[in-house]
Structure 1
Amino acid sequence: MRGDACIPLLPCVEIAPTLEFYGLLGFEVTYQQRTPNPYAATRRGGAQLHFFGLKGLDPLKAFSSCLIIVDEVEDLHARFVAALKKAYGRIPLRGVPRVTRMKKGQTRFTVVDPSGNSLMFIRRDEPAGYGDDDKDAPASVLAKALKTARRLRDFKGDDAAAAKVLDVALKKADAGTTVERARGLAARAELAVALGDMRRARELARDIDALSLSASEREALRVELEALEPLARTQE
């Protein structure tokens, strides 16, 4: 006996550009009709997505979403980014369509399609609570700010709000340990680049250089800061 199956049915402004976009992500069209109503079905591995045309749909006000559980996310994100960059001539980080940024060790990312539908790709073995269990609740002001900023960045895609949260915490001299301050500065630098404020990003990098950190701590931060370079190039 076959198990039950659930297939998301998402609205779209137009079927053709929707299928073109999902084709970039490796989804194949398994069915399509133009009359009496625009409709299409797609598949990528075990994930199926169906679409229907909806007159008057505003992509900037859309809220339809879907979770897709996958075995890994980092390589998948890299493949999606490469395909979108080739098609659009840049990595679409803002507006519609767009793809959220990916940091090493991250377990999820989101793709927003041309109609404003959000697809969140989640690693199958992601820790419960996305690593935010109460037992691991941060104690310092900076640790709490980093947690909040991460959720604003990764779940809501609100870079500006995440930046404000970190700015408030970083203004406090005793907000956390030196390592937490370094991580806060690195996270804020990443947001500055994404927001197109390269001058602010360079200022934050200098603030990190001025901190008293061990060689191993600086090495850990070096990986984070080097990850900003491809993102910085998209802002040039």
Structure 2
Amino acid sequence: MNEHVIPILPCRNVDDVVPFYEALGFTLTFRQARPNPYVCFNRGGIDLHFFGLEAFEPENSMGSAILLVPDTGVLYDEFAAGLRAAFGKLTLSGLPRITRPRRKQGTAAGFTVVDPGGNWLRIYALGATEEDGKGSESRLERVLMNATRQGDARGDDAIAISVLEAGLSRHADAPDVEKLPLLVHLAELKLRIGNLEFAAQALDSVDSLALNPMEREGLAAELANAAELRASL
């Protein structure tokens, strides 16, 4: 079978989406101004089309597309490198933004890109299921998966923050090595909603954790995330 589906997503102005998707490594394959603004992008096996609508409000967009890719980690690294090169940093709040790859409760692991038109690109690994790795999580890993489901998948950052704060309080006796990913994600969420003071407090808590060299090595990616968040404050 050679069926191929191409999403057509809205935006206020096609000039908003062109530089963003080019930063992600997409190639602009078609563009027209009349009779209606329209652009087409391609990146490997991914095709996305956009139409411009002046009255459109990106903050109220319900546009969404699921992208299934061979390796979400590789694609995230490529997207992140492109965004840093184009904009000087990762855009983690507002529009556009990108979330970091994390497992989510009730769905497969992956990450999300929200573009300048408010459209959600939900990136998952081809063939992955919510059962992958299920049952091996610690108490705080389950809390993190629940929070990620609420914030990164559903877009309810307030509930995600509440889940993380309640989990950290409920499991205050958990090892510091298990607390760190939750505190980093909490800082990211606080930054996403514009609460820079509390984001800084969460990062201060990260800095105060007692980790041995092996634990630091295992959490190198999370510690790098924390450093990037600190630089964004």
1:124 matched residue in structure 2 = 126
**Are positions 1:178 and 2:162 aligned together?**
no
1:96 matched residue in structure 2 = 95
Q: How big is the shift at 1:73?
A: 2.0
**Are positions 1:198 and 2:216 aligned together?**
no
- Matched residue SS, 1:178: coil
2:218 matched residue in structure 1 = 220
2:84 matched residue in structure 1 = 85
- Over 3 Å counting, the alpha-carbon distance change for 1:177 and 1:4 in structure 2 is same
Backbone CA RMSD of aligned residues: 3.0
Identity %: 33
Q: How big is the shift at 1:51?
A: 1.2
Structure 1: which 5+ runs fail to align?
Answer: none
Q: CA–CA distance in 2 between the matches of 1:187 and 1:198?
A: 14
Which structure has the bigger radius of gyration?
1
Q: CA–CA distance in 2 between the matches of 1:230 and 1:138?
A: 26
Contact 2:83 2:91 (8 Å CA) reproduced: yes
**Structure 1 length normalisation: TM-score?**
0.78
Q: CA–CA distance in 1 between the matches of 2:137 and 2:101?
A: 22
2:166 matched residue in structure 1 = 168
Q: How many residues align?
A: 222
Structure 2: which 5+ runs fail to align?
Answer: none
Q: CA–CA distance in 2 between the matches of 1:21 and 1:219?
A: 33
Alignment of 1:37-116 (within 5 A): 37-102=36-101, 107-116=109-118
CA deviation vs aligned residue, 1:114-158 (integer Å, no higher than 9, x gap): 1111112222242x126485xx39685x45422311212431344
Q: CA–CA distance in 2 between the matches of 1:177 and 1:191?
A: 18
